[in-house]
Structure 1
Amino acid sequence: MDAHHIATMLPPLWGHVVPFIHLSVQLLNADPTLVLTIVDHSFMVGRMKKEYAVCDYDAARLRIIGVGEKTFSEADPPTLQLIRGWADVAPVLARGSPEWPKPHAIILDFTVGGSVLKHTKKIFGPETKTLVWWSMNAAPMFTILTEYDHRAIFNKYWADEKLRAGRSKKQLELDIFGAWNGKDRLTGEVVQVLGTSSIYDYERQSWAAGHPGALNRPLLISGHILDQGVDGYITVSSAAIEPVTIPHLRRFYRARGQSLFAVGQQTHEKYFQEGATFKEPVTNKLISKFLEDAYTKLGKNSLIYVSFGSLFFPIANTKHVEALLDTLLASDFPFIFVMPALGANMKGGLSKSFIDRVNATGKGLIYSGWLEQRAILQHEATGWFLTHGGMNSITEAVLLGIPMIFWPNGVEQPVNAVHFTSGQHPIAFELLQIRTGGQIGPSLRLGDSVKITGTVEDAIAEFKTVFREARGPKGEVLRANTYRVAAALREGRKTEALVDIKRLAQFGRMAESTARL
């Protein structure tokens, strides 16, 4: 049978790349006639190859094309270089070859795909299908991609002098994309996110990394362009974890003539094996020694690992972060706090004197740079994960049986916090007193039982409560629930998710009547 080719454009964001790496391994193993091309910025290629090196797949049927320059700047960021690089690579892919024929399907990440969709469809033609890569849960996908057309909302406000209210174009954009509710401000109205508890509109946001309008604008515009023009969607979720959302979205998108592929949570295959003995070493000697010392002195599950991912850092009020670390120092919880290089250089980031003071205690370790997160979560000393709540981090923690503490920073993370701290089997605490700006206000789920102020004093009181409860009966319940959810993920991977992966491997080649399931 002739080769079937799927090409993918990924952003230079590890949380978007690593789940696709493991999905691509499954796709290649599901269809021996499939070949895959991944296009990303050059600086991601080495890290991608390192991840592929520990996977089992036919490497001859996968190629990675790096684009962009070795250097970049704020005026010419990696994403813009990637978009230009895709414009050069796409015509070559469209011409094809016997081993790498013209792709039957193109997968575009939601963060950058909107910028190239029109050009891509023109180059490849209608016979090549297009899909959105959504490396997150499905519930926020609907809200971010489908629910609102923010460009149309902006045009409405800009054209009406009364609605515009004297604001500049930039300010109006910030207000509309920051509100993310179809209006130009947060109103406190009740909103529904599919499959989760109802919340106030400001609870769907996070101002921890500053006003969200500047970040949301390119994401929401790109996402909605894709939503209106693609043939389908890929989400790293399944009915095993979103039993209400996935069936609803299948019906919704099918009615629009689009397909939904719920391929399940994605990380290394061996983490889905029950009782697997697969171990990834902590290669950083400083981190390894700290973990070993914590285990020797305090035993299993004694340490908290803190990371806000490679992109986010709560700069809106770094006094909250300092208070968190000082509270941990005063407790019996040793901790490793991984601060991305990006966060370290942000205005308002932790000072060198503060970092030096913490590290001098020997009770906590602040490290700036990239670390092997799975290896740290695997270590017997690690008992809790304080995280921004990105889906990649959640997946890794759940499969390793590590309950979480959520400090959401942006995009879908507040919705994830609601989802995984609610319902019959919650697996995490959610920090509420770290809210800032327009996000401060009552929680609809908690009613009047918690007054959210966002002050450092109330944040410290909440930290103390959470750390105490983590070591008590509530913490044990969350840990047990984490194992329960992990079992559901493993089962879902063998059933519904596997069916969708097999469908996806053939997408674009199949007859339309079959592909539109």
Structure 2
Amino acid sequence: MGKSQAQVVLFPLPAQGHISPFLSLATQLHHYRPGLSITLVSTPANINSIQSSLPPDPCLHLQSLPFYPVEHGLPAGAESTADVPVAQFITFYKAIESLYPAFDELISSLVSNASDSAPLCIVSDFFCSWTINIAHKHKVFHTSFLTLSAFGGAVFFSLLLNHPHRLTEKDQFPLPEYPEVIIDRSQVSLYILASDGTDEGSQFFKRQHMFLNHTNALWVNTVEEFEPIGLGMLKKTLKFPIWPIGPPLATVAQLSSSKSDEETEIMTFLDSQAPASVLYISFGSQNTIQPGQMMQLAQGLEGSGCAFIWVIRPPIGFDPKGEFKDEWLPHGFKHRIKQKHMGLLVHGWSPQLKILGHISTGAFLSHCGWNSILESMFYGVPIIAWPIGGEQFYNSMMVVESGVGIELARGVMDSSMPMKEKVEEVVDLVMGSNAKGMDIRKRAKECRDVMKKAWNEEGGSSTKSLLEFFKLISI
């Protein structure tokens, strides 16, 4: 790295849903400042994975930091949230803090080799807000990057910091900082419901929020025009610059011209279907549903007669990376949908951006992970919401309130079982030729225009936010 070269160091949480927006961020940083030196740090396995999925890029430096998961009670080789059970997520988050000495040494080296006129900035995931101490130690500008939605992040912080669900026995309650926001208990993850402020999860997030209060600025992976309410909530409680810099752009890996046999099959299936006729179903890179829910969803899909692509994995209670058994689906289901050329079951990874961007895709049945929502809106695809956990419940609230979709189910409890008739009804409502469906599709297309304009180089809101950041740190 040249001594006069401005540098940005990116530190995402080792999780697919967090690393992807950081890689997209790196693409945008390079586009607007080609001479910027960008370094992304992570654990060795994640760095190797990024290197194998992306072509060599001289503008992006990848730096691995030593990590020993077994020392923290994690499975051997567990270097991503995908490698650990949900019950150990907090253990994993805390284990990442062990990277402190190695990251401190890296920043110290970069500062020593830089000239006084070369700005250096650390951009860390909110889950890694402890990096703020290292930034202060070396007098380096620090920006936190919230990969959640603004609304989801604000609600998530309020629940974990205040535990309002413990102050009442009612099923619905307001948030202390935002009394206009009413939360239902069914929208609160079980681990939050069980928390009381003294548990490890509460302590971890309180600590990160405490660190966050000392950052220089916050980037949010959203679009100003899409989330004015959520951004307003964050600005009400956080007293430093908050800049929306979404939506994420496709990474090179997603839009690679090379195709696997499975991807070719997917695109061939889409090419054979009518415009806006296919329902894409995915619960994200880690989530799945109960066996009974899977059965009802399959029956509802078949009853709807709608063409679909379903990214499917074993249900809850079974090895998510294990072999999928036909017994988890209705008898003869796979044979019937194949014979009718009606559905395609995908086991493992899917080219989500390509699917959402295809003319035949008409709606997205999603767990409402924030990346998935932004990607769906980027292509103007309506959402059938089925949030599973975390802030996904609040993203689903946004989907419904903004008019771009309908909630089918909530969570994976037996009480949230969507019967086949409900599946048929909702699929027909969102994708059919009824007035409600037409309104939803119209609104989704309007959101698509908002997303695409955000990075307009002549006044786009996300472009403006990024340029303001460059000006602030003199890049």
Quick check: 1:427 aligned with 2:404? yes
C-alpha distance in structure 1 between counterparts of 2:68 and 2:315, whole Å = 17
Output the CA distance in 1 between the equivalents of 2:453 and 2:358. Answer: 24
- Per the normalisation by structure 2, the TM-score is 0.79
Deviation at 1:215, TM superposition (A): 10
Distance 1:269 1:371, change over 3 A: closer
Partner of 2:87: none
Gaps of 5+ in 1: 154-179, 271-277, 441-452, 511-517
Query: Any conservation in 2 of the 1:294–1:334 contact (CA below 8 Å)?
Result: no
- Give the aligned residue type for 2:174: V
Aligned residues: 440
Match of 1:345 among 301, 319, 341: 319
**1:334 pairs with one of 287, 304, 307:** 307
After TM superposition, the structure 1 = structure 2 runs for residues 31-70 of structure 1, keeping only pairs within 5 Å, are 31-49=33-51, 53=55, 59-68=57-66
SS of match in other structure, 1:229: coil
2:121 to 79, 85, 105: 105
1:148-163 equivalences in 2 (<5 Å): 150=161
- How big is each residue's C-alpha offset from its partner over 1:152-211, in whole Å with a ceiling of 9 and x where there is no partner? x6xxxxxxxxxxxxxxxxxxxxxxxxxx4363776323325999974334254246x997
CA contact (8 A) 1:110 1:226 kept: no
CA contact (8 A) 2:69 2:75 kept: no
Q: Does 1:244 align with 2:229?
A: yes
TM-score of the superposed pair, with normalisation by structure 1: 0.73
Question: Partner letter of residue 469 of structure 2?
Answer: L
What amino acid maps onto 1:318 in structure 2? P
1:242/1:196 CA distance change after superposition, 3 Å: farther
Q: CA offset at residue 148 of structure 1?
A: 5.7
What does residue 264 of structure 1 align with?
246
For 2:164 and 2:377, locate their aligned partners in 1 and report how far apart those are by CA, in whole Å.
Answer: 31
For 1:40 and 1:496, locate their aligned partners in 2 and report how far apart those are by CA, in whole Å. 30
Structure 2: which amino acid aligns with 1:479? R
Aligned counterpart for 1:284 among listed residues 239, 242, 260: 260
SS of residue paired to 2:262? helix
C-alpha RMSD of the superposition: 3.9
Q: Deviations over 1:227-267 (max 9, x none)?
A: 333222110123210123335544653xx3x2212112112
Q: Shift in Å at residue 322 of structure 1?
A: 1.9
- Give yes or no for the alignment of 1:93 onto 2:99: no
CA deviation string 1:479-500 (max 9, x = no partner): 2211111111222333221121
1:141 aligns with 2:153: yes
Q: Give, in whole Å, the separation in 2 of the partners of 1:284 and 1:217.
A: 42
Give 1:106 deviation, angstroms. 1.8
Q: Cα distance, 1:104 vs. partner?
A: 2.9
Alignment map for 1:214-229 (pairs within 5 Å): 217=202, 220-229=205-214
Alignment match, 2:29: 27
Which residue of the partner structure matches residue 164 of structure 2?
A: 181
Are 1:309 and 2:284 matched, yes or no?
A: yes
Quote the residue 1:501 is aligned against: 466
Is 1:74 the equivalent of 2:74? yes
SS in 1 for 2:243: strand
Cα offset for 1:472? 2.6
Structure with higher RCO (Cα < 8 A, 6+ apart): 1
**Take 1:336 and 1:53, find their aligned partners in 2: how far apart are those partners?**
29
In 2 relative to 1, CA 218–39 (structure 1 residues): closer, same or farther, beyond 3 Å? farther
Q: Which residues of structure 2 form unaligned runs of 5+?
A: 80-91
Cα contact 2:367–2:387 (8 A) shared by 1: yes
3-state SS, counterpart of residue 371 of structure 1: coil
Letter in 1 for 2:447: V
Q: 1:50 to 1:500 in 2, by over 3 A?
A: farther
1:205 paired to 2:188: yes
Moved more, 349-358 or 4-13: 349-358
Kept in 1, the 8 Å contact 2:270–2:358? The answer is no
Q: Look up the match of 1:515.
A: none
